[in-house]
Amino acid sequence: MSMYKVGKGVRAPLLLNTVSVTLLFMIIGLPVLAIILFAIFPKVNELSFAAPFSQFIPQLQDERLIVATLNSIRLALAVTFSSMLVAVVLAYMRSKMAESIGRMWDVLLLIPFLIPPYIGSMGWMQLLQSNGVLDQWLNINLSNVLFSFSGVVFVITLHLFPVIYFSAASSFKVIGQRYGDVAKIYGANSRQIFSRILLPLIVPTLLSTGLIVFVLTVEEFGTPNILGSRFGFQVMVTAIEEKMSDWPIDLSGASVLSLLLVVIAISAYLLQMFITRRFACKLDNQTMTSVPSKNVWFSMVSNVIFFIVVCLAVVMPIFAIVSSSLMRTVSLGLQWDNLTFNAYTHLFFSNSDALSAIYTSLGLAAMAAVITAIIGMLVAFTLIRLKPRGKAVLDILALLPNAIPAMALSVGLILTWNQTFWPVTPYNSLFILLLAYVCLMLPYPIRMLSNAMKQLPQSLDEAAAIYGANLFVLMYKILFPLMIPIMVASSCIVFAISTRELVASLMLVPAGTETVATYVFNQFDQGSISSGMAMSFIVIVISGALIALGQYMSKRYLS
Amino acid sequence: MNAIEINNISKSFDDKTVLHDINLTVAKGEFISLLGPSGCGKTTLLRIIAGLELPDTGKIQTPANTFVDRATDEYLPVAKRKLSYVFQDYGLWPHMSVFDNIAFALTLQKMPKADIKKRVNEVLTLVKLVGHDDKLPEQLSGGQKQRVSIARAMAGSPDIMLLDEPLSNLDANLREELGKEIRELTHKQGITCVNVTHDRKEAQLLSDRIALMKDGVIHQLTDPVRLFKQPASKWACEFLDAGNLIEGHMIHRELGEWLVPRTAFKIENDNTDTRLSLHVDSCLFLDDRFEIAAWLANEKVFFYSEAPFDVGQNIFASLLEENLVSIKA
């Protein structure tokens, strides 16, 4: 709209665009650039462009790297397919279910999102390993199953399948009834309905959410690290971590691997965007809700299957977390006189490490929440309203964080800021963690605020200008009051996810400091299971409540 | 003195010319409508007057200000033009009450609170919404929202009011009622109005003059009666739905096309050489008279009649001479 940019002396769009681009470049552009530079020029930290690509080929021929890369892809494919399978079966049954029961299952299936996979993996270990709960109670030792490729696939799938389930369920619901009925009226049989109506409408959804699951699995560090390390299974992310933490530190190796990781993630992400743009069609507003199946057997079987899935994805991990947080001694197992709240009281009253980890995480998360909301607002306003010339750069920078795995970002941040030529650097302070959280969380506020801004009619801005408002008045009297609920909603989500973020925390936390996630991780490593699990449970409850609040606020606002 | 002088305004978006050398003067207190099909540039012209878009060439002046002059690179920002604008989608701020919406401009002008209250009440009385001040826009019906939008537009006692399809989101009955009110209010207050519409009835209802626009140029500029009685071209006849277009030889006249309005048919009882012989195809009762569709040889014609006819009936008609217009190709 030229309204914002016409007139002498009106430089605001240009200014805001420059500020947004600069900010995003500092946050996300620099680390990505650093990865690329280091991968190509191994001596770039000495400001030398000598021996370009000298590390590239040897690294790519390193057998362990090839194995790790193939493992990552194999794992991601397996998780994607198993998630699709579970999700499609459930979504199909959900479309034929009475709304009241279906809603209950939907709410329960949101819970896996709240259990970070590294905590889920720890929970499953408590249940299935030798001398775990199952072994003690039923004499079943499933540690061989858990510490295997299938075990890793199983645990990650249980965390990620809801991503596919929810979008598949909504498309099944729409197409299951009405479009099928219309096709029936025009003479289609059920095979034709399936192949001509159902498949074309649902396959793009499945593919695009499947690709999201693929990327999330490739990025996943906690599960492969916790379970995989026990049977020598290494993926790209764990290999990078090893290169960065084991002496001698292999910076260029880590950067080559990170570059590879980024390329895989971005390709999958671009493919996902392409599929969505090319094939997704807007369905008209649904006037008819789907009719529940009247077949008693079918609905019984459906509910039993949902029950089993919810047990595996929700009840068991939470049971494991809660029960092991309450155990006085793990080896004594789950017996009444072995239960105590000591771990919880200990966390808050006598363990200064735990308390300071909580304070650190809460403080960082709160700052990340506020900063991302402000940057998100700035970027959304620039992209949606000002549409300045050269907004393509900002567009790309705003999309980039979606596709950058936390591990790659951490490597990039280290490569960027652990250099002698900076006069000041956030490296080795909490600011670098803040930087990482802000970058990782930016996609949420940018997406939420841009969507909300798109829904506000342009005429609101124009009316403000007509009746005498300048850009500043427009911002603070019209746009901010209208966007505040969405800013708060996105802040809740950012806060919740930041408090439990593992990868960047492990990689970037300054020596002697801990966050909630590193605390949990280290406690588990050192065998203080109950203390780590108590902390996990608190984090899950707090972040769950906050995410629920955020979702509620944005939904209420958008209706 | 003219209230708005528009000279040589041109505008293109991405190589597509939307406005081509527009010249138009609007007299003080006049209500003028820019009428045309979508894509004719009418809305762009309105937005250029408001300052929401910048023209590529040309100049717009009011007695007090130069709004824009590309030759000298003068530009008065939107906020300083002291205009008012009625939006198609109302453009009411959803988080502000009716009162706050109307008082917005007055508050920015730092008018004393008591005066603001008085003025808001005055305009609410004008648009018949007294007592609704505390409501949020979402609590109002479409017609009420547009009334608030009009009240907001009148609150600052503007000289010029711009209206972008103000009635098109309302249902038919309300459209006519509110249209009449807008006309009366703006006339009484002496506000100069530029209105944009694609609906000829809306233009008829509101305007002193109508600028019929086509492909970025003003096709015809005149008062509503003349525009509908004497459209300048075949295209104008068709767009305005002014009547039947019939070849001269079919109605015993010189060659070329003729506009024969639906009111120009007079039914006769006898058949002579000059009569038209019509074969009735359909007969509909609309408003308070019948609309007859009939075949004149192989041409379908429409006309109004006080009395109904049977489908398939053959009738004879003469034409009222003074209503016929010869249309240039």
Q: Is A50 on the interface with B (CB under 8 A)?
A: no
- The pLDDT, as a whole number, for residue A363 is 93
Burial class (CB in 10 A: 0-12, 13-18, 19+), B134: exposed
Question: Where does chain B hold its CATH 3.40.50.300 domain(s)?
Answer: 2-233
CB contact under 8 Å between A459 and B152, yes or no, is no
Q: Which of residues 165-224 of B touch A (CB under 8 A)?
A: none
Q: How far is CA A31 from CA A23, A45, A370, A416, B183, in A?
A: 13, 13, 22, 6, 62
- Tell me the pairing of strands B257-260 and B289-296: unpaired
**CA distance to partner chain B, nearest, from residue A375 (Å):** 23
The answer to whether B84 contacts A467, with C-beta atoms less than 8 Å apart, is: yes
Domain at B243-327: CATH code: 2.40.50.140
Task: Write down the pLDDT at residue A130.
Answer: 77
Give me the half-sphere count of Cα atoms (radius 13 Å) on the Cβ side of residue A453: 23
**Shortest Cα distance, chain A CAs vs residue B18, angstroms:** 15
Q: CA A213, CA A85: separation in Å to the nearest integer?
A: 13
Quick check: A455 contacting B, CB < 8 Å? no
State the pLDDT at residue A9.
47
CATH number, domain B2-233: 3.40.50.300
Considering the entire predicted model, what is its pTM?
Answer: 0.84
Residues B109, A464: C-beta atoms closer than 8 Å: no
Cβ–Cβ below 8 Å for A466 and B83? yes
In total, chain B counts a number of residues equal to 329
- Cβ burial, residue B128 (10 Å; 0-12/13-18/19+): exposed
Candidates B104, B149, B150, B154: best to mutate against A (most CBs of A within 10 A) is B104
Chain B closest-CA separation from residue A268 CA (Å): 34
Domains and CATH numbers, chain A: 64-318 (1.10.3720.10)
The residue count of chain A comes to: 559
Q: A464, B93: Cβ pair inside 8 Å?
A: yes
Facing residue for A7 by CB, picked from B75, B85, B156: B75
The answer to whether the CB atoms of A469 and B108 lie below 8 A apart is yes
CATH 2.40.50.140 residue spans of chain B: 243-327
Compute the count of residue pairs across chains A and B with CB atoms less than 8 Å apart: 80
Sequential pLDDT tens for chain B (329 residues) = 789 999 999 999 888 999 999 999 999 999 999 999 998 999 999 999 999 999 999 999 999 999 999 999 888 888 888 899 999 999 999 999 999 999 999 999 999 999 999 999 999 998 889 999 999 999 999 889 999 999 999 998 899 999 999 988 888 888 888 899 899 999 998 999 999 999 999 999 999 999 999 999 999 999 999 999 999 899 999 999 999 999 888 888 888 889 999 999 988 888 887 788 899 999 999 888 999 999 998 889 999 998 899 999 999 998 888 888 888 66
Copy the structure tokens of residue B225: 């009666």
Cβ contact, residue pair A466, B79, below 8 Å: yes
Best to test chain B binding among A8, A387, A458, A467 (most B CBs inside 10 Å): A467
Kindly state whether B104 is in contact with chain A, defined as any CB-CB distance less than 8 angstroms.
yes
Tell me the residue type at A128: L
Task: Please tell me if residue B67 touches chain A, with a CB cutoff of 8 Å.
Answer: no
> Which residues does chain B have within 8 Å of residue A460's beta carbon, measured at their own beta carbons?
91, 93-94
Chain A 465-484, residues with CB within 8 Å of chain B CB atoms? 465-470, 473, 477-478, 481-482
A307–chain B nearest CA distance, Å: 42
Enter the DSSP assignment of A393: H
A-interface mutation test, from B73, B93, B159, most A Cβ less than 10 A away: B93
C-beta atoms of B93 and A463 within 8 A: yes
Instruction: Give, in degrees to the nearest 5, the angle at Cα A491 between A215 and A274.
Output: 30
A9 touches chain B (CB under 8 A): no
Q: Which residues of B touch A1 (CB under 8 A)?
A: 52
Between chains, do B73 and A464 touch, taking CB under 8 Å as contact? no
B interface test, pick of A4, A453, A459, A466 with most B CB neighbours within 10 Å: A466
Residue among B47, B38, B22 at smallest CA distance from B218: B22
> Which candidate from B88, B95, B152 shows the least CB-CB separation from A481?
B95
In DSSP notation, B39-84 reads: TSSHHHHHHHHHTSS--SEEEEE-SS-EEEETTTTEE--GGGS--E
Residue of chain A with shortest Cα separation from B53:
A2
Contacts of B73 in chain A (CB under 8 A): 8
Query: In chain B, which residues have their Cβ closer than 8 Å to the Cβ of A462?
Result: 50, 52, 78, 85, 87, 91
Residue B239 sits at the chain A interface (C-beta within 8 Å):
no
Q: Testing the interface with A: which of B19, B78, B86, B116 to mutate, by most A Cβ within 10 A? A: B78
> How near does any CA of chain A get to the CA of B173, in Å?
25
pLDDT at A11: 66
Closest Cβ opposite residue A460 in set B79, B91, B156:
B91
Give the whole-angstrom CA distance, residue A359 versus residue B237. Answer: 77
A420 in B contact zone (CB under 8 Å) = no
Closest chain B residue by Cα to residue A482:
B95
Distance from CA of B220 to the nearest CA of A (A): 29
Query: A422 with A414: CB under 8 angstroms?
Result: no
* Inter-chain touch A478–B91, beta carbons under 8 Å: no
Q: Is B13 on the interface with A (CB under 8 A)?
A: no
Q: What is the pLDDT of residue B327?
A: 84
A423 touches chain B (CB under 8 A): no
- Tell me which residue in B77, B84, B93 faces A460 most closely, judged by beta carbons: B93
What's phi and psi for B2, nearest 5 deg? -80, 145
As a whole number of angstroms, the distance between CA A27 and CA A44 comes to 20
Is residue B42 within 8 Å of residue B30, measured between CB atoms? no
For A304-307, which contacts have Cβ atoms below 8 Å and span 24 or more sequence positions? A305/A89, A305/A90, A305/A93, A306/A90, A306/A93, A306/A94, A306/A105
Tens digit of pLDDT at every position of chain A (559 positions): 456 755 544 567 778 888 889 999 989 999 999 888 888 887 776 667 777 777 777 777 788 888 999 999 999 999 999 999 999 999 888 888 888 888 899 989 988 888 888 999 999 988 888 777 778 788 778 888 889 999 999 999 999 999 999 888 877 776 656 777 777 788 888 788 777 777 777 888 888 899 999 999 999 999 999 999 889 899 999 999 988 888 888 888 888 889 999 999 999 988 988 888 887 666 655 555 566 777 888 889 999 999 999 999 999 999 999 988 888 776 666 677 777 787 788 777 777 788 889 889 999 999 999 999 999 999 999 888 888 777 788 888 888 888 889 999 999 999 888 887 888 888 888 899 999 999 999 988 998 899 889 888 989 999 999 998 888 888 889 999 999 888 988 898 899 889 889 999 999 999 888 999 999 988 888 888 888 899 899 888 988 888 888 878 777 766 5
Q: What DSSP character marks residue B12? A: E
Check if A459 contacts B (Cβ < 8 Å). Answer: yes
